[in-house]
Chain A
Amino acid sequence: MKKKLPDELELARDLLDKQVVDRDETKMGRVDGLVLELREGKPPRVDHLEMGSSVLARRLGPRIERWVSAFRQRIGVQKAGRYRVPWEKVQEIVPYQVKLDVKVDETPAFAWEHWLRDHVIAHIPRGLKGKTD
């Protein structure tokens, strides 16, 4: 698949906090963090994007990060609370979303979504919505 990326990118404005979708345009989270690799004698390079509650909590401060982490250890479905996306997986960046060359079901991003689907939603009789059955 051919990549569709802009020539120039302002990381904070054009990438951080943007909606992330998978190959099939399923919304899978947001760019909660960006990690640069610092290289000797060369400009830094974006190594990976991060998604997940522990990444968000860290942005709010160390204390909040500890609370969220403790909470996650107790009842967490996804214990790490973090999903790292290598830059190579970034397929397309447009003004309203970032598309990854992944399938969301194969990533940790939908751990909670799947847990809730299987343990709660599956037990409620569904309506007429949606094409799949």
Chain B
Amino acid sequence: MSETYIPMVLMIAIAFGLGSALVLLSVVLGPKYPSDVKDYPFECGHLIDSDGARKKHSIKFYMIAIIFLLFDLEIVFMYPWATVFREIGITALFEMFFFLGILVVGYIYVWKKGVLEWE
């Protein structure tokens, strides 16, 4: 059991270690000449306007995030169904038709409300 999951942790640890080693090498090898102009954010020379970027964003991005959550959860429910589909057979097919039907009603509602329009 644990043997299948140890490589996962090891790989992430090695990837992290490799990244740190590269950054460490760059700290050793790279120069350090700080200056005020270098530390400005790069906005094509507009120094006056560089009062931070975190301002209001289009609502569309948030809507996409919410729809994604809903759809992704539906898909998570569909994966266990897919693994046992051959064993259960035709009953599973109709059950999933019903489930997908509810999903599609929501999808059509979202579409009609214009959430998916990007103009």
Partners in one complex: no
Interface residues of B (CB under 8 A from A): none
Interface residues of A (CB under 8 A from B): none
